[in-house]
Chains A and B, each alone.
Chain A
């Protein structure tokens, strides 16, 4: 009695797969390790362990009050689609201003009024955040205006050059050319 069976020859790819599949899976487990440094750096940045932001601008006096300002990331503004380009800043109020200050606003160029004071800082006074719209036609010598509103209705303003607040933003404005 003879049995004639024809066993299909496994393809070359199949042989490689069966021989190395466990090793390949170990490599897959190693891939996330490459992203770990970035993950821990971001976690420290958002928790505040690595400071207020990637680049500290310093203490800025606004009338009787002051705040520490920092760029969240030392980079050019990021596009938010139709809302335009946005730049992230963080700020911490001085210890004496936490009680009396109601709101802090940031704007490129001098605000026309309190209603148009710009974007508002949100979050705890020890670490507030903002996404500041940066119009593409902003001049490189523009100023960044800080408006602080007190619970008693008082208003105080200060400005710093944009080049001091964010050299990366000014470099981005220079690179893309001033739009009309």
Chain B
């Protein structure tokens, strides 16, 4: 009868890891905006499973609900726009119910 070999131990460890891992099924939208200088704001969108969001709509909307900057994220999942003069919020819109709102007060200064 052989002792438990290193291979057997590795197999057991692998089985345990597979058993305790939970599948990451959710892919919730996320968006982050930062002011890169006094005039420009850069927003990056994505999903919580790690995927990017190229081509997803990102609008800059005034408090009076007028769309100030209609935009779409570029191939690198980012969009840079000029800070509007009026009060605004950023809406990352990946479809109904898959939105992230970022108020101007929550955008980090450079």
Interface residues of A (CB under 8 A from B): 14, 18, 80-84, 86, 103, 105, 112-113, 115-122, 131, 133
B96 touches A120 (CB 8 A): yes
* Minimal beta-carbon separation of B88 from chain A (angstroms): 11
A113 to B93, CA, bound (A): 13
In the bound complex, do residue A14 and residue B26 qualify as a contact, i.e. CB atoms below 8 Å apart? no
A83 and B99 within 8 A (CB)? no
> A113 vs B64: C-alpha distance in the bound complex, in angstroms?
10
On chain A, the residues within 8 Å of B26 by CB distance are 80, 83, 86, 131
With A112-B89, A119-B97, A120-B96 as contacts: A84 and B30 at CB distance below 8 Å: yes
Is residue B6 within 8 Å, beta carbon to beta carbon, of the partner chain?
no
What DSSP secondary structure best describes chain B's contact surface? strand
For residue A79, give the distance in angstroms from its CB to the closest CB of chain B.
10
Closest residue of chain A to B28 (Cβ to Cβ) is: A83
Number of interface residues of B (CB under 8 A): 20
3 shortest A-B CB distances, which residue pairs? A120-B97, A83-B48, A83-B28
A residues in contact with B65, CB < 8 Å: 112-113
Q: Mark B68-110, 1 if CB is under 8 A from A, else 0.
A: 0000000000000000000001010100111111000000000
In the complex, are the beta carbons of B30 and A112 less than 8 A apart?
Answer: no
Take A80-B26, A80-B48 as given contacts and tell me if A120 and B98 are in contact as well, using a CB distance cutoff of 8 Å. yes
A178 to chain B, nearest CB (A): 14
A170 to chain B, nearest CB (A): 22
A14-B3, A133-B28 are contacts. A82–B93 as well, Cβ < 8 Å? no
